[in-house]
Amino acid sequence: MKAPKPDDPRRSALMARVRQRGTAPELAVAAILRSLGLAYRLNVRSLPGSPDFANKHRRWAIFVMGCYWHHHTACRSATVPKTNEAFWRGKFAANRLRDARAVRSLRAAGYRVLLVWECEVDAPDDLRRRLQRSLNRVA
């Protein structure tokens, strides 16, 4: 399920703040983690940025990022609407800044932080290998 891309900035700003839960990319990541036998908690609000998946004991966290809202660099889904373009560029920049701040805080607390982009789910074998490689070192 792709996030909708409404053209009304006020409505869109509201939607961007509410991170979507239980989206297809998140379900795909959950299935991979389970298949790797990795225990996790969902939507961990006690950690910076409320990671989608985290294991506090093993100290890793995963953010599943929508390519549009979080403006994945060089991704074809990271488009900028032609109407209200300045607003949108500011909005995406603010999202990126917030993401970076959460990642920095977690890394400072000794967490291994992984960002999984929505488009990576299109290549599940590659994603599985990446998660396995990154998390097996700490799991």
Smallest gap from residue 67 Cβ to Zn ion (A): 3
DSSP secondary structure string, the chain? -PPP--S-HHHHHHHHHS---S-HHHHHHHHHHHHTT---EES-TTSTT--SEEETTTTEEEEEE-TTTTT-TT-TT----STTHHHHHHHHHHHHHHHHHHHHHHHHTT-EEEEEEGGGGGSHHHHHHHHHHHHHTT-
Q: Which is nearer to Zn ion, 47 or 121 (CB)?
A: 121
Q: Which is nearer to Zn ion, 115 or 119 (CB)?
A: 119
Residues that bind Zn ion (CB under 5 A): 67, 72, 75, 117, 119
Q: For the chain, what's the residue count?
A: 139
Residue 74 Cβ vs Zn ion, minimum distance, rounded to whole Å = 8
Shortest Cβ distance from residue 120 to Zn ion (Å)? 7
Measured from the CB atom, the residue of 60 and 117 that comes closer to Zn ion is 117
| Residue with Cβ nearer Zn ion (19 or 72) | 72
What's the closest the beta carbon of residue 119 comes to Zn ion, in angstroms? 3
Of the two residues 53 and 117, which places its CB atom closer to Zn ion in the complex?
A: 117
Query: Least Å distance between CB 39 and Zn ion?
Result: 27
In DSSP terms, 42 is beta-bridged to 53
| Nearest CA-CA partner of 66 in 11, 29, 33 | 29
